[in-house]
Amino acid sequence: MLFSSLGLSPALLRALERQGLHTPTQVQAQAIPAVMAGHDTMARAQTGSGKTLAFALPLLHKLASEPALNPRQVRALVLVPTRELAIQVGAALRDLANQLPQAIKISVVFGGVSINPQMLAMRGGTDVVVATPGRLLDLLHHNALSLAATQMLVLDEADRLLDLGFEAELKRLLDLLPSKRQSLFFSATFAPAVAALAHSMLREPVQIEVGATDQEKPDITQQAILVDAPRRTQLLRHLITIHKWKRVLVFVATKHAAEIVADKLRKARIYAEPFHGELSQGKRSQVLSDFKASRLKVVIATDMASRGLDIAQLPVVVNYDLPRSADDYTHRIGRTGRAGETGLAVSLVSHDTEAHFRLIQKRHDLQLTLELEAGFEPLESAAAEGDVAAGTVATHQHQAPANTGGVKGKRPSKKDKLRAQASRQQN
């Protein structure tokens, strides 16, 4: 199948050809006709499968073929959970829209920066808004735009937007949108509770479930290393050095941990920077720019970097802290092995987090063996004598620890976790 068989306008086909794209991915081949036919759509597909184009192409096709009755009002709204994803989606839409004969104005808005330039940029109206929920509500409060004429709503990384962190803001926005609209939900994962909530917001949606084919499945080698928690930073430094990793994205649980681990790596003469929500937008943009250009070797990030970020040819992802949610494991490791490249995902597992690691394996049907790195064999392990053989430790051979780490419903308080994190990283 070719893009030309999906009914897209000649201008959009030329835009795709300029990008060297001729054949749609599975999610694009299924979603584009459904969206163009006007159906609400709920699509789940793995990271790196082309979900952005799956909604961007039919969205622009419909806007270009249906001139606005009132050019001062927003016709399409794309909601995303992070500033970085807003910038990325906005750039993809503009690259396509620039090839259209009709002028389609696209505005990208997010928090962390002054609201005034964003308000000024939308004077005279805009056709498409790509936004984070909080900043969009601010702009609506200032009467900078109206959603009364919005025809299409897209939730990118919909599961993150539908969870408790954004539920209140999203409900306020939905109340401001016309009841008669087309809604599109795209994500790599949908937890059962989130899926149920999504269905309550959609009208007879077309459901698209795309599993990776052998050709499309990301080529990611997954590895897990058993290590005492206080020695994870030393092990990370060791792995970066002996394997000569050029660029590494390291995921931690908190912004506090991001700052501490980055600082320790810098003291070891490894150029590292933290990346979390409390950094200024300018700093976050600079870190990503330096990382993508290979001017920066290591980024220590919270889960805000796990959604939608496209970092070309990123060779390695490390789970310094295991993700709180098993679904987030998919999003994290999906930052590597993109666009046909190979990738490596390494998880550092301590005695306290073995139970959670087994849960992640069960949820994703993984059969990983906990390995030992010479010189970093754990002293805290509860493994019985004789469990360790040939430099590896099978996960099923260990007794479940009493502390379940990040398992939902059995977590320590935020203050307890911060104290424990600081204590473990003093070495």
| Distance (Å, whole) CA 17 – CA 3 | 10
| Distance (Å, whole) CA 150 – CA 225 | 49
| Top-tier CATH class for 219-424 | alpha beta
pTM score > 0.85 for this model? no
Strand partners, 210: 45
Helices 83-97 and 10-18 sit at what angle, rounded to 10 degrees? 120
140 within 8 A of 116, measured Cβ to Cβ: no
> Which is it for strands 152-156 and 272-275: parallel, antiparallel or unpaired?
unpaired
What pLDDT is recorded for position 395? 37
22 within 8 A of 2, measured Cβ to Cβ: yes
What pLDDT is recorded for position 217? 61
Contacts of 65 (CB under 8 A, 6+ apart): 9
Tokens in use for 394?
Answer: 């099978």
Residue extents of the structural domains in the chain: 3-210, 219-424
pLDDT tens track, the chain, 427 positions: 899 999 999 999 999 999 889 999 999 999 999 999 999 999 998 777 889 999 999 999 999 988 766 666 899 999 998 888 999 999 999 999 998 988 899 999 999 889 999 999 988 889 999 999 999 999 999 999 999 999 999 999 888 787 767 888 888 998 999 999 999 999 888 877 778 878 888 999 999 998 754 445 668 899 999 999 999 999 999 999 999 999 999 999 999 999 999 999 999 999 999 999 888 888 988 998 999 899 999 999 998 887 767 787 899 999 999 998 887 898 899 888 876 678 999 999 999 999 999 999 998 888 899 999 999 999 875 443 334 333 444 333 333 333 334 444 444 555 455 445 554 544 4
Handedness of CA 330, 49, 189, 309 (dihedral sign): positive
Question: Tell me, which fold does domain 3-210 have in CATH?
Answer: Rossmann fold (3.40.50)
> Which is it for strands 41-45 and 206-210: parallel, antiparallel or unpaired?
parallel
| Distance (Å, whole) CA 381 – CA 372 | 11
219-424 shares the fold of 3-210? yes
What pLDDT is recorded for position 68? 67
